[in-house]
Structure formats: structure tokens, C-alpha cells
């Protein structure tokens, strides 16, 4: 071997490599490679045909996405789930991978705002019919089925009024009607509800929220019970390029290790904060599924086994935007940010964000006034949180 003195720099750079060690990294390595080299054409054939295991091209799959998917699978009781570039990618791939022209989809009437937009504005362009019904009322769901209905899409806990869907009724209805039941499990998380175990066909997550938990990645996840459905969702997602980035998958994986601890602490805080808000003279009402005065408390208890989550909503006695704005401005340590599931508590004002597209009558019908707040409770010391809310409410 030459000592390299007479070699070209490019040759030297190409040849230089790390030594193989006998130890292994404890943290997952980030694997940014977009392409993978196969040793032969025969091997590549085997990779495509399933006889050999290996990656080819990152849009089709890469180790960080796959590892994250296996870990979420384990929590969801799923097999072969897929991680995608966002929660909306997961919702979109589920619907567009499985439905076609002439099919009908029935959604919950309080789905995530972009899911509703997809249904009402985009699916129609592809000849997919849409309607929505109240998922707390299984008879309303039944009445909205048509002979063309191929899928029902619901969330277990609605945003922002935190109503709890009649999941037992809807699972039975979907089976009876022979339609695919897809559940967006973002709010409930696999610790509160496991859609596939409960009899649903598909489970969906915005990993962006509680699972990753730090407001620094945008990712989604979907798993289907039926491998043919999973294949169709996978093929659609890969074709349209809903690829997750390796670095983001790595961050989400890191988040998962603390997810159960974070949820436990956040729920403890949510319970204490909801009880404190309920006694506060500036607060007209509090919605938290863990409280006995919540309209769906017993259903939430039965469905989630007491994992009521970290989301609390409340309404000011002065239900005006001016009062809400004074509270926001008086409490700058509570970020006014339209997301949920972060380690820190965030405040959302649905009338000016997620539900701004509705008329004020439409919002009123859902019980959302201009003084309505949704709180994603984080893991801060509870005294800090209560002090922040005390300061904010004093300005109302």
C-alpha cells in the first residue's frame, strides 16, 4: 500500500474510513443516506420481491423512519405501520390510498381542521363524496351512512370541546356496515386508547404532538390491520412523496422514550389545573374528561381506563375577544400557539385559529365563544402554571 503521498486528494478522501469497532452506539445513529447500494442485481431482485431485506431509496423507506414506526407499532399493538412527513400526510394517505371516485367517506363533525378541509374541499375534486356527523351519537352516524360509504374517520376526543366519541357503537356500526374504520388517535395516544385492539381497521397519529412532544418535528404515523390496506396506503404515500426526514424521525424516537412519563405528569397537571380553573371566579366553565362534571366523563373513563390526557378547555365569564386577548397578553409565559402536546403548556384560542373559518353562529353551535380557550398542559411544576394562569385571569 502507498502511504498516500503520491495519491490524488479525491482518492485519499474516498479511501479514508472509520475502523470497525467491537462496541456499538447506545443512541440510534442518524442515517441520512438517500440511496443504498446492493451488491448485485440478483440481490436487488430479491430486495424488491421480499426475499432479501435491505433499503433501496429513502423515499421508499429508511432506517430512522422504520425504527420509529416499529416503536409506535409496539405501543399501538400494530404491525407494519408507516411513518410519514406529517400527521396530515397520514390522514391524506389513508383516505386517498384507499378510496376512489364514487366512494363516500363519513367523518366526525369535529375532526381536526385540516382533515375537515380535506374532506369538504379536496376530496370532492377527486369524486369522493363526504359527509360529517356527530360521533358522540352513533345513531346520527348510522343515519349518515350511504350505500357508497367505504370509510368512517373519527377522533376519539374532539377538539376543542373534548367530547368523547361513542367508540364502542362506532366500531360495531363499521363492522355491521362493512366499512373501514379509521381512528385519528392523536389526542388519546396509545396509552389512552388502542384503536386496532378495540376493533378499528386503521390508527393514525400526528406524531408532531404528544408522541414526539417537543414542538420540534412534524411527523405522522398510520397503521392498518389489513396488510392489503397497509400496502395501498404505503404505495400512495411513497408515490406522492410523503417522506419523513431521518433527522426528524430520530428526534421523534428520542421523544418516545419519555412519552409515558411526560403524559403522566401532564395529566396530573391537567387534573389539578382543571380543578383550580373550575373554582376561579373569572372562569365560566371547564371541560376536562377526567372531571365528573364533563358530559362524557363515564364514557371517557370506560374507554381510556382513566388516561384522560393533557387537554383542558375553559371559557371566561366575559366571553369576548377583548377579554381573551387581555389574558393572553398578561401571561406571556403561556405561549399563545396553536399546537398541543409540547413539554411546555400552550394556549390556543379556537375562535381565532382552528375554528376561524366558521361563522360565529357555527362556533356557537359547537359551544366555542370568543372567550373559549384550549390548554395543552405541559410538565412544568404545577405552582408555576397556576401562578401564570392567576396572572392572566387577573387581567380579564
Ligand X SMILES: *Cc1c(COP(=O)(O)O)cnc(C)c1O
**Grid cell digits, residue 150:** 367505504
Strand partners, 312: 375
Burial of 334 (C-beta count, 10 Å sphere; 0-12/13-18/19+)? buried
For the chain, the residue count is: 396
- Minimum CB separation from ligand X for residue 340, in Å? 6
Catalytic residue among 73, 103, 166, 184: 184
Nearer to ligand X, 86 or 203 (CB): 86
CB 44 within 8 A of CB 50: no
DSSP code per residue over 90-124? HHHHHHHHH--TT-EEEEETT--HHHHHIIIIIGG
**Grid cell digits, residue 55:** 433499503
- Minimum CB separation from ligand X for residue 30, in Å? 21
Rounded distance between C-alpha atoms, residue 292 and residue 272, angstroms: 14
List helix spans (H) across the chain: 9-15, 41-49, 63-76, 87-98, 113-117, 138-144, 167-177, 189-192, 195-198, 227-240, 246-278, 297-304, 321-330, 360-366, 382-394
Q: Identify the residue whose cell numbers are 407494519.
A: 80
β-pairing, 129-133 vs 104-108, is parallel
Nearer to ligand X, 118 or 196 (CB): 118
Nearer to ligand X, 156 or 316 (CB): 156
Catalytic residue among 112, 221, 234, 308: 112
Count helices and strands (H / E) in the chain.
Answer: 15, 11
Q: Does residue 112 carry a catalytic annotation?
A: yes
Catalytic residue among 163, 209, 299, 326: 209
Q: Which residue number is nearest to ligand X in terms of Cβ?
A: 87
- Minimum CB separation from ligand X for residue 80, in Å? 21
Rounded distance between C-alpha atoms, residue 214 and residue 389, angstroms: 22
Q: Does residue 257 carry a catalytic annotation?
A: no
Nearer to ligand X, 290 or 341 (CB): 341
The binding site for ligand X (CB under 6 A) comprises: 86-88, 91, 112, 155, 184, 186-187, 206, 208-209, 218, 220
Catalytic residue among 59, 70, 114, 254: 59
Nearer to ligand X, 218 or 304 (CB): 218
Nearer to ligand X, 87 or 213 (CB): 87
**Grid cell digits, residue 371:** 372567550
- Minimum CB separation from ligand X for residue 317, in Å? 28
Q: Does residue 59 carry a catalytic annotation?
A: yes
- Minimum CB separation from ligand X for residue 159, in Å? 6
Nearest to 196 by CA among 209, 183, 206, 187: 183
314: phi then psi, degrees, rounded to nearest 5: -155, 165
Q: Does residue 226 carry a catalytic annotation?
A: no
Nearer to ligand X, 86 or 392 (CB): 86
The residues that are catalytic are 59, 112, 184, 209
Amino acid at each position: 500500500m502507498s502511504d498516500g503521498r503520491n495519491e490524488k486528494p479525491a482518492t485519499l478522501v474516498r479511501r479514508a474510513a472509520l475502523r470497525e469497532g467491537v462496541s456499538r452506539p447506545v443512541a440510534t445513529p442518524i442515517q441520512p443516506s438517500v440511496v443504498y447500494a446492493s451488491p448485485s442485481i440478483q440481490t436487488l431482485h430479491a430486495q424488491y420481491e421480499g426475499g432479501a431485506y435491505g433499503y433501496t431509496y429513502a423515499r421508499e423507506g429508511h432506517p430512522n423512519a422504520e425504527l420509529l414506526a416499529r416503536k409506535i407499532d409496539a405501543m399501538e399493538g400494530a404491525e407494519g405501520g408507516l411513518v410519514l412527513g406529517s400527521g396530515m400526510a397520514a390522514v391524506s394517505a389513508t383516505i386517498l390510498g384507499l378510496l376512489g371516485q364514487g366512494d363516500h367517506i363519513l367523518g366526525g363533525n369535529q375532526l381536526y381542521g385540516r382533515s375537515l378541509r380535506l374532506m369538504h374541499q379536496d376530496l370532492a375534486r377527486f369524486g369522493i363524496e363526504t359527509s360529517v356527523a356527530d360521533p358522540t351519537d352513533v345513531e346520527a352516524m348510522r343515519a349518515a351512512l350511504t350505500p357508497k360509504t367505504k370509510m368512517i374517520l373519527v377522533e376519539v376526543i374532539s377538539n376543542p370541546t373534548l367530547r368523547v366519541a361513542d367508540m364502542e357503537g362506532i366500531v360495531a356500526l363499521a363492522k355491521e356496515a362493512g366499512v373501514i374504520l379509521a381512528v385519528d388517535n392523536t389526542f388519546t395516544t396509545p396509552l389512552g386508547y388502542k384503536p386496532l385492539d378495540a376493533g378499528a381497521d386503521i390508527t393514525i397519529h400526528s406524531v408532531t404532538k404528544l408522541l414526539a412532544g417537543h414542538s420540534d418535528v412534524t411527523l405522522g404515523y398510520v397503521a392498518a390491520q389489513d396488510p392489503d390496506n397497509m400496502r395501498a396506503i404505503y404505495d400512495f404515500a411513497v408515490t406522492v412523496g410523503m417522506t419523513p426526514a431521518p433527522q426528524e424521525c430520530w428526534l421523534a424516537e428520542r421523544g418516545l422514550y419519555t412519552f409515558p412519563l411526560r403524559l403522566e405528569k401532564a395529566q396530573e397537571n391537567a387534573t389539578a389545573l382543571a380543578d383550580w380553573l373550575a373554582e376561579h371566579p373569572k372562569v365560566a366553565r371547564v371541560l376536562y374528561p377526567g372531571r365528573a362534571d364533563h358530559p362524557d366523563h363515564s364514557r371517557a373513563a370506560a374507554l381510556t381506563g382513566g388516561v384522560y390526557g393533557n387537554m383542558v378547555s375553559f371559557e371566561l365569564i366575559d366571553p369576548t375577544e377583548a377579554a381573551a386577548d387581555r389574558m393572553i397578553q398578561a401571561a406571556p409565559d403561556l405561549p399563545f400557539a396553536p399546537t398541543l402536546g409540547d413539554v411546555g403548556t400552550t394556549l390556543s384560542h379556537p375562535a381565532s385559529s382552528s375554528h376561524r373559518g366558521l361563522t360565529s353562529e357555527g362556533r356557537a353551535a359547537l359551544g366555542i365563544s370568543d372567550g373559549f380557550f384550549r390548554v395543552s398542559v405541559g410538565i412544568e411544576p404545577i405552582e408555576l402554571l397556576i401562578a401564570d394562569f392567576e396572572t392572566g385571569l387577573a387581567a380579564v
